[in-house]
Structure 1
Amino acid sequence: MVPSYSRAPRHALMRAPRAAALALTGALVLVPSLTGCQGAAVSDDAPAANGPVRIGVIVPLTGPVSQVGTALRDGLELAVKKVNADGGIGGRPVEYVVVDDAGDPANSTQLARRLVRQDKVTMLFGTITGDTAEAVGRVADEAKVPFGTAILGDTEHCFPYQWGFGESTRQMLTPAVPALIAKYGKKVAVVGSDYNYPRFYAGIAEKLVKDAGGTTVASEFSPLGQTDWQPVIKRIGSADPDLVLSMVVGADAVTFSKQAQQFGLLTPGLGYEGAPLDADFYPALAPLVEGRTHTVRWSDGLEDAESRAFTASYRSAYGWKAPIPEVAGNAYFGVRFFLGAAAKAGTTDPQAVNKAIGEFRYDSPLGKGTRFHPANHVLQADMQDVTIGAGGAYKVTKTHPMVADETPKKGCS
C-alpha cells in the first residue's frame, strides 16, 4: 500500500514567509499515515548521483517521547537551512523528509524502508529510544544507507552504516560517576524506563560505580507510560541510596521525579543525575534540578560563536524561551558533520557518503577534530559539566576535552 501524506503539526512554524523559504530550499516536511500499511522490501534504486542530498528523518512527533523528537527535528531543520543558505553541498540543495514513528520500533522499521525505497534518501537521521535506533540501524545496514542518531546514549550493537552523534553512555558516566560518588556517597541506585537502552546504561553504570569504589544498591525498570511510581520509589528508598542515576525518559522523567520528591526520596541531599536533568524537562522540574550538575555533550550555555548563533536562531524560529534541549544541538551539529562528509564524498551515493563519514574530521562546539572511532562508531568529542541555575541557565562549569570511548563492539565493519 502506498501511504497518504499529511502536513506535520508545527509550533509557530508554517507562516506564509516560512513556507516560501521552505519551498526555496526544497525542504520536505511530511508525516505519513500509518494505517494498515506494511513496510515494502528495500529497493536497489539509489538517489541520482548529481541530484539533491536528501535526508530521511525518523522521529516520534507523537507518543511519550514526542517532546524530545520535536527538538531533534527542529535542530536538524535549522542545520539544513544554514547549509542551504551557504550554497548547499557542492551546489546541490539539501532536502529532508520527516516521518513520525511514535516511538514504536515496528513503525521505525517500516518508515526507514519506505524512505529508502520511495524517497531515495542519501542518509537517515533521528529516532529517540534505543530500540527504534536499533530497528533503523538494521534497515540502514540492509540498504547500505548511512544513519545518524543524536540522542544521548548508544546501542549495544554496532552497524557499519550507523553513527552516533549523541554522547555515549561511557562518555556521560565516565567523568560524572566518580565526581558524584565523591560528593554524595558510595551507595548508588539506578532507575530506568524498561527497554533495551536503560538496561544497557545500568550495566555500564554498575561497572563504573564499582570502579569508583561504590556499590549499586538498587536497580529498577518500569514500562514507558508508567503513571504510578510509588512502588518503585519505595523499593529504591528502602535501599537508602546516596545517589540515584536515572534513565527514565520522555514524559515519564517528569512523573518519576515529581513522585520521587512527593514520597520523600528526592531530597536536596540526595545525588541525582541522568535524563531528567536534561534541558527538555527544566520547565516542569525546575525546583528539583536547580543547583545540580549535569554532564552533557552540548549546552546552550556554551559561549562559542557557533553555539550562540544556533541558540539565537532556535529561539527566533520557534519562539523558544526555555533552555534549549541538548538533542537539538546534537542534531544541528551532527547533521552538519554528516553533510560535510557528503561534500567530501562529492556524490549523493549513500555508500560513498558512508565511507566519507568514517574518515571525516570536523571542528565544531562539540570539539576540535571530532571523529568517529572505527571500533564502535561513537563520536569522539568533548563533554561539558553544566550547573543548572535559576531561570534555566545551564552554565558550563567544566569542559572534559575529547572524552574517548573506544570500547569495541561487534558488527561495526
Structure 2
Amino acid sequence: MSLNRRDFLGRTAALTTTAMLPTAVFADGTIKLGSILDASGPFDAYGKPMDQAMRMAVSEINEAGGLLGRQVEVTAYDTQSDMALYSQYGQQLTRQDKVDVVHGGILSASREAIRQTMRKTKTLYFYNVLYEGGVCDRNIFINGVTPAQQVEALVPFAMKNSGKKVYILAADYNYGQITARWIQKFVADNGGEVVGTDFFPLDVSDFGSTIAKVQTAAPDLVIAPLVGGAHLSFFRQWAAAGMKDKIALASTTLGVGNEHKVLTPEEGNGIMCAYNYSQELDTPENAQFKEKWAAMFDGDQSMHEIAVSHYHGIKTWAEGVRKAGSLDRMAIIEALETGISIMGPGGKVTVDPKTHHAVLDVHLMQMQDQQMKVIETLPQRQPVDTQAVCDLSANPNDNTQYEIEI
C-alpha cells in the first residue's frame, strides 16, 4: 500500500475472501489460521498493513517447512470496518471454516465482539494491537503495548521536554477514556497538572473550538490519544492555527498507522510518542524485516506499529506450536505460558505467563521529516497495569476485562 492522504482517508469496498498465500503449496492436513481485519473502510490504513504482515509471517513459516511438517493456510475475512461483521466472521471461522487459531481485531470493540466466540468454541485467539489493558482470559494472547508500558514512559519524557501543565484530547470510547485516566495518573506522579480533558467521537473532524479552548487554558503540553482518519484533522488544524511551535504535542496513537507520513513535516515535526516499533530502529532484525517486506510487496514501506505487533503475534503463536509439538489448544497455551520469547523487528517479545500479554521494548521517539526518530529505548517493559488485576496462573478460568483502578 502506498500511503498518502487519499489512501488514508479513503473508503474502499472489498469482498469477504478466503485466501491462500500464493507463494505456498498446500497439501492435505494444512494448519488453518483465521484472520479478521479491517482491510477496507475507515480503518484500512491500520488493517491493510496488518494483513500484509500476517501474510509475510505465514509465508516465512511455510518457506521454512511449515509447522509440525504441515503448511499454514490462511482464511481471511475483511470486515470493511463494520463492527457487526466481527461477530459474524468470528462464528464463521470457528464453526464453518474450523480454523486452528484466529488473529484479528483492531479497535477494542472489535476484540470484544469476537473474544467470547473464540472462548466458547475453544479456538485460540491472538489480539495484536496496543490497547487500554485489563483483559484477563486464558484463551487470548495480546501483543500490543498497554498504558503502563507506553504511557508511563511517554508522559515524563514529554513533560521533561515541555512543562508541567498538560491538556488531554482523547477518542470517546473505552481506549481513549481509560488511556486519558492513565495520562492523568502519570502526569500527577511526575509533579504535573492536567488543566483540561476533552473527548471526541471517532467521526469528529472539526477541532476549531477545541483549539481555542486549549489556547485559553495555556498548557505546556497537549497529549492526544486520538484515533482514526477523522481525528488526524486535529494535528493539521493545530499546525494551521500556528500552535505547533507554541505548545508541545505528544500522542499515544499518532504514527501507529503511519499517520506521520500523511502529515507534512511542518504539521508533524516535534510530536513525541512511544511505541514498540519504528521503521527507523537501527537493528539487524528491523533491517532484515524491511528488506523482506519490500521484496514481497513491490517496494512498499507501509509497515507500522500494529502491523509489526501482528507479525510478532503470528511468530509467537508459531513458536508455541513448535514447543507444544501439537495443535491441541491447551498444549499450545501451556507452551506459551513457559514464557516463550521471539526476536522481531521491534525487539525481543516475551509472553508474560500471568497475563498472556507481551513484555516489550518501548522506544521513546520524536517525529522529524515524516520519520519517527528513536531517542531512547526502554528494554523489556512489563504490562504491570494488567498484572495488577490479572493472574491466570492462580485463576485460569477468569474471563474479564478489568477496569483497572487508577
Aligned to 1:44: none
Tell me the CA shift for residue 296 of structure 1: 0.9
Aligned to 1:211: 189
Q: Distance in 1 between matches of 2:225 and 2:349?
A: 29
Tell me the CA shift for residue 264 of structure 1: 4.2
**Cα distance 1:344–1:395, how it changes in 2: closer, same or farther (>3 A)?**
same
Name structure 2 gaps, 5 residues minimum: 1-13, 397-406
Tell me the CA shift for residue 237 of structure 1: 3.1
Q: Distance in 2 between matches of 1:105 and 1:78?
A: 26
Aligned to 2:51: 73
Q: Distance in 2 between matches of 1:323 and 1:71?
A: 6
Tell me the CA shift for residue 202 of structure 1: 0.9
Q: 1:304-360 CA distances to partner (integer Å, 9 max, x unpaired)? A: 332212111222333455563121211112210111101111222223222322224
Q: Percent identity?
A: 24
Aligned to 1:372: 352
Name structure 1 gaps, 5 residues minimum: 27-49
**Cα distance 1:151–1:277, how it changes in 2: closer, same or farther (>3 A)?**
same
Equivalent runs, 1:303-318 vs 2, <5 Å: 303-318=282-297
Matched, 1:21 2:1: no
Tell me the CA shift for residue 89 of structure 1: 0.7
Matched, 1:159 2:161: no
Matched, 1:299 2:301: no
Q: Distance in 2 between matches of 1:112 and 1:87?
A: 28
Aligned to 1:326: 305
Matched, 1:86 2:88: no
Tell me the CA shift for residue 251 of structure 1: 0.8
Of residues 321, 342, 355 in structure 1, which corresponds to 2:334? 355
TM-score by length of 2: 0.85
Q: 1:31-68 CA distances to partner (integer Å, 9 max, x unpaired)? A: xxxxxxxxxxxxxxxxxxx9322211111122221110
Q: Conserved in 1, the CA contact under 8 Å of 2:277 and 2:304?
A: no
Tell me the CA shift for residue 279 of structure 1: 5.5
Q: Conserved in 1, the CA contact under 8 Å of 2:101 and 2:123?
A: yes
Counterpart of 1:275 in 2: which secondary structure? coil
Matched, 1:226 2:228: no
Q: 1:67-110 CA distances to partner (integer Å, 9 max, x unpaired)? A: 10111111111000001000011211111111122334332122
CA-based RMSD: 2.6
Q: 1:259-317 CA distances to partner (integer Å, 9 max, x unpaired)? A: 22223443364232221233611222132223444211122222333221211122233
**Cα distance 1:268–1:320, how it changes in 2: closer, same or farther (>3 A)?**
farther
Aligned to 1:38: none
Equivalent runs, 1:121-140 vs 2, <5 Å: 121-140=99-118
Q: Distance in 1 between matches of 2:217 and 2:135?
A: 32
Tell me the CA shift for residue 406 of structure 1: 2.5
Q: Distance in 1 between matches of 2:295 and 2:332?
A: 32
**Cα distance 1:104–1:202, how it changes in 2: closer, same or farther (>3 A)?**
farther
Q: Distance in 1 between matches of 2:22 and 2:251?
A: 43
